[in-house]
Chains A and B, each alone.
Chain A
Amino acid sequence: MNQSRKENLLLQVSDLSKRFTLHEQGGVVLSVLDDVSLSVAAGECVALDGPSGAGKSTLLRCLYANYRADKGRILVQHGGEMIDLLHADARALLDIRRRTLGYVSQFLRVIPRVPTLDVVAMPLLSLGVDREEARDRAADLLRRVALPEPLWKLAPATFSGGEQQRVNIARGLVVGHPILLLDEPTASLDADNRARVLELITERRDAGAAIVGIFHDEAARSALATTIHPVRSRQEVAAA
């Protein structure tokens, strides 16, 4: 690891483990992640690679502190400090998510009946950006992902899968987080829209964002990934 990369590390994961205890199924324990380590510097994009069920999504969700890892460390550069997500309290986690960690999930989950433009602007509003500016920035992104303007006033619940995914991407990118976690961001897009979204994410990467993503789509992976990180299934099923 060269010196400058080390200084630019935005995300450092070491010895991360995650197990699930399924009380509904007789207390079965699933060990999904075991001693995972990886690091991402500014301008890098790590693609998680592995078969279905290997734990790629679990790892990504742990990195967002959506799943609570059992042991190890997830150090995130936030406000000039490296903070361990496993030991950060709720308010610190929320602040890290607001400012530092962006997450684009596969599915859009928002308050029903809120217009698309406001759905996209919401992360900015919770940062305290004023409404006008937040809407302007949201509109810029919706234009970049080529969502037709007449849809902006509508709630996204009735949109097609591809439209919802573009709304989700716009919402995930609107703040400009230094670290982005992407879960199959182009899965339901046609070729034109996929190209637009890849261009947008590439731009963010080249501007210094540290990205961790799951890309089943080969075009996306080859366009974005600077490193491939294999995720091996090491599940051990044991009774509790």
Chain B
Amino acid sequence: MSSGYNFAYLDEPTKRMLRRSLLKAVAIPGYQVPFASREMPLPFGWGTGGIQVTAAILGRDDRLKVIDQGADDTTNAVSIRDFFAKTAGVATTLSTRDATVIQTRHRIPETPLQHGQIMVFQVPIPEPLRWLEPRETETRRMHAFADYGAMHLKLYEDVARYGRITTAYDYPVLVAGRYLMRPSPIPRFDNPKLDASPALMLFGAGREKRIYAVPPYTSVKSLDFEDHPFTIESWDRPCARCGAADSYLDEIITDDRGGRRFVCSDTDHCNQRLDAKEKAA
């Protein structure tokens, strides 16, 4: 841990401010709590909301995992992991099972989460009604009155135009039967993992200055129609590395002649399965 920084970079009053917002967010599942987002040593859009939430909740005994699109080894994930190793001196890990705090961009790990774990999501646009209603005063009123007539409209427009619901990520959900929420740009494949999860889910939007949360074991329902029910993505082949048939796959171009492979987006999950196979062999 380098000296010269307060623990986890942010000063203590800022962390207290963040924790108050987090407590309110947990108390009102799915409700967007405003907070005084700080300048961070990286630009908005690079995970500043998630980093501030992580900084506010990290303790000295935590083990931090950071993933970007499911991978622990991409630039953003490596940088943020190093940032907290440097400023907080906490242990880091690549293992979903071993982590106490997992900061993520665009995925929820395949390994089932456990009670006591905390997920921290990086959120670009927190407001689910924003595409439809540009006025913040109006979207606040709509949330306050649970006036969600507009909430199915995006799905209606999908089916009208394409014959099916095409929304593939950031698929809107209703939290605890009350607040409409954007789950951040995770694939809709991950939406069912939010429902009644034993882990605490925290969402931070740095540029938009909003925090929201899904407490453990909270109902999270993906919106749909009776005749166009919610479904998750599926693939006609398993992972080319580990052979998993039930994980979210990334398409990887392997050459200039159209060659491609489908592999797990969750690198830890894929590697664990490969290790297990090797041990068994």
The answer to whether A and B touch in the complex, with CB atoms under 8 Å apart, is no
